Structure 1
Amino acid sequence: MSAVAAIVLAAGRSTRMGAANKLLCPVDGRPMVVHAVAAALASRARPVVVVTGHEAEAVEAVLPPGVTAVRNADHASGIASSLRCGLTALPEEVAATVVLLGDMPRVGAVAIDRLVALFEEAPHVAAVAPTWRGEPANPVLIARRLFAEVMRLEGDQGARRLFAGRGDVLTVATDDPAMAIDIDTPEALAALAARDSA
């Protein structure tokens, strides 16, 4: 059985959230980033690597035990540098990694484990990419065979741009709306709270 890791991207500057660091905003009484990290820890994925950057000390202070935190000194350049940091921190025996976003607090361990299971059933694939109602969703699984290409990305380019036109990317529709909910603005945070209380 192949080893599959998890990388939680938690380095962004939260520019659309105003003065607050969105990853530290409370959701259900816990900082937002803790939900993504807890989901990774509750899944089969190991190790769990958390990439920090903006306000790194504050973010690392709320992380639960059992994770490896790595700091991206170049986080202001965009998501590509955080992906590189996360991949560099993985042990050689890791065959793939699930990449989670720290601002998606409703993604659970079940969603992560489904990606892992799909990869184990088709270990030849370069990635497992979920969709929600026809639109790209997160997290995604990236196999080691794609790591070198991800390492060459620059700026605010995520790994998904590498999936287009490839025959070895497994695209799977999900019925889990949590995989389409990311929190970028105060309005989105308020909407999440309203949805939960409805």
Structure 2
Amino acid sequence: MEDIPVILLAAGSSRRMGGVDKLMQIVDGQPLIRRSAEIAGAVGPVIVALPPAPHPRYAALRGMDLDVVFVPDADEGMNASLRRAVAQVPVSARAAMILLADLPELTSDDLRAVLRSVTEHPDKLIWRGASSDGVPGHPVIFDRSLLADLAHLTGDGGAQAIVRAHLDQVHLQPLPGQNAILDLDTPQAWAEWRKNQKS
């Protein structure tokens, strides 16, 4: 699956965190953004979209083998990152995996499970992680034929419009628990999650 790069979306501004960067929160002993890059790097080459430098996220990723994409228009929303990152996908890639950087329970095994579904369900165009009870989440793999559509998205809606347009071509791959959907967008959510981790 080396021909399926992972696009790690990490250019957002954590608007709901009250000035705290959620991607710099410590998870498993390291900043969340580095943890996310590590699990991505375990399954394929990584293209990471980052806000303009200087930014603490660059230091958190220092020394890693990543293709860094700068997103000067990150304030537009997620699709600015998608457009710029998709432009870096090699022409030889059969597909690309889109991964949000703020999923603290997702693992490299989860990413591998979604990657395997590409081979196991070759009749589909989109392969997507889901919670154990079937709620669609991340990561999401898009066939090469859909990358041009990703490259023309605007705003902050992500790739949902493309997914909706191809619902009959989507395979949902259940992952353990809430791994595919658990993101923490507020200090309160982080505090509650840490409390549950300790218990």
Compute the TM-score of the two structures, normalised by the length of structure 1: 0.91
Contact 1:11–1:56 (CA under 8 A) maintained in structure 2: no
CA distance in 2: counterparts of 1:110 and 1:174, whole angstroms:
9
Q: CA deviation at 1:37?
A: 0.7
Q: Could you list the per-position Cα deviations for residues 23-69 of structure 1 after superposition, in whole angstroms to 9, with x for gaps in the alignment?
A: 112223311111111111122x2x21110016653211111511111
* 1:51 and 2:55 matched: no
Contact 1:26–1:32 (CA under 8 A) maintained in structure 2: yes
Runs of 4 or more above 6 Å deviation: none
The amino acid across from 1:168 in the alignment is Q
Identity of aligned residues (%): 29
Q: CA deviation at 1:155?
A: 0.3
CA distance in 2: counterparts of 1:31 and 1:66, whole angstroms:
17
Instruction: Give the 3 Å change call, closer, same or farther, for CA 165–74 of structure 1 in structure 2.
Output: closer
The amino acid across from 2:29 in the alignment is G
Contact 2:34–2:60 (CA under 8 A) maintained in structure 1: yes
CA distance in 2: counterparts of 1:28 and 1:122, whole angstroms:
33
Contact 1:126–1:169 (CA under 8 A) maintained in structure 2: yes
2:80 alignment counterpart: 81
Matched pairs, number: 196
Consecutive unaligned residues of structure 2, counting only runs of 5 or more, are none
**SS of the residue 1:114 aligns to:** helix
The amino acid across from 2:156 in the alignment is D
1:158 alignment counterpart: 158
**SS of the residue 2:4 aligns to:** strand
2:110 alignment counterpart: 111
Shifted more, 171-180 versus 181-190: the winner is 171-180
1:61 alignment counterpart: 59
The amino acid across from 2:46 in the alignment is V
Compute the TM-score of the two structures, normalised by the length of structure 2: 0.90
CA distance in 2: counterparts of 1:114 and 1:7, whole angstroms:
17
Q: Could you list the per-position Cα deviations for residues 145-182 of structure 1 after superposition, in whole angstroms to 9, with x for gaps in the alignment?
A: 11111112110011132122522222233334211211
Shifted more, 173-182 versus 151-160: the winner is 173-182
Contact 2:113–2:173 (CA under 8 A) maintained in structure 1: no
Consecutive unaligned residues of structure 1, counting only runs of 5 or more, are none
